[in-house]
Amino acid sequence: MFTGLVQDKAIIRGIEKRSESSVLTFETNLAHQLSIGDSISINGVCLTAIAIENTLVKADVMVQTLKLSNLGDLTVGARVNAELATRVDARLGGHIVQGHVDGIGIVVTNAMGEKWQKFVVEIPAHLAKYVVNQGSLCVDGVSLTVGEIVDSTRTVTLWLIPETVEKTTLGDKKPGERVNIEVDVLAKYVERLLGAQNGGLSHE
């Protein structure tokens, strides 16, 4: 589990494509805190470290993950948001993030304001019902508070504070770029429970 508080902007150093997976090599100052088998979030995708050498970490990425996330868009030299799995005794500063991408969003606007940066993203239709004003949304592994959602256009307005612009890759995103979206898992649990109460689940 993660919190969506990015700890490092890692750099992709290698991409090895295989028939059913790819191996990503990335450089991160978090490497010394990792052991083989540990989880790390890269752009909001939970990956498992398979090799560690100094500041370089390797992780397998399955074909399905490449299709469902923007990891398949990465090139060598790209910067990505990295976060270690949260500790049980740590403060939950963001929100509960699983590292399971629900869909791909498209950046519509990324404009600097007087203090904050206005970040607007179009999300897939099937995810809009899970997003509420002042709720939480994870974009490329970053926990953000929803400023506004417009259902007719499926656009979500988020405001990036200077700290977020500095510590993550979101400040550099251009309109048209794809970003990973994970909605609040609590909303999905509520939907599931309500479906069970209304007889919407099979008991077979």
pLDDT per position as a tens digit, 61-70: 998 898 899 9
Phi, psi for residue 104 in degrees, rounded to 5:
-110, 130
> Scanning the structure block, which residue is given the tokens 């508070």?
145
Helix (H/G/I), strand (E/B), else coil: 71:
helix
Domain with CATH 2.40.30.20 in the chain: 8-84, 103-192
pLDDT at 118: 96
Residue 72: pLDDT over 50: yes
Q: Under a CB-based contact definition with an 8 Å cutoff, are residues 38 and 23 in contact? A: no
Pick the CATH number of 103-192 from 3.40.50.150, 2.40.30.20, 3.30.70.330, 3.40.50.300: 2.40.30.20
Distance from C-alpha of 109 to C-alpha of 155, rounded to nearest angstrom: 10
What distance in Å separates the CA atoms of residue 59 and residue 26, rounded to the nearest whole number? 9
Tell me, what's the pLDDT at 26? 98
pTM for the complete prediction? Answer: 0.91
Average pLDDT along the chain: 92
pLDDT at 199 (0 to 100) = 67
- Tokens encoding 149: 């959602």
Phi, psi of 64 (to 5 degrees): -60, -40
Calculate mean pLDDT across residues 179-196: 85
User: Which helix (H) or strand (E) segment is 105 a member of?
Assistant: strand 103-112
Q: Does residue 4 register a pLDDT over 70?
A: yes
Q: What is the CATH number that goes with domain 8-84?
A: 2.40.30.20
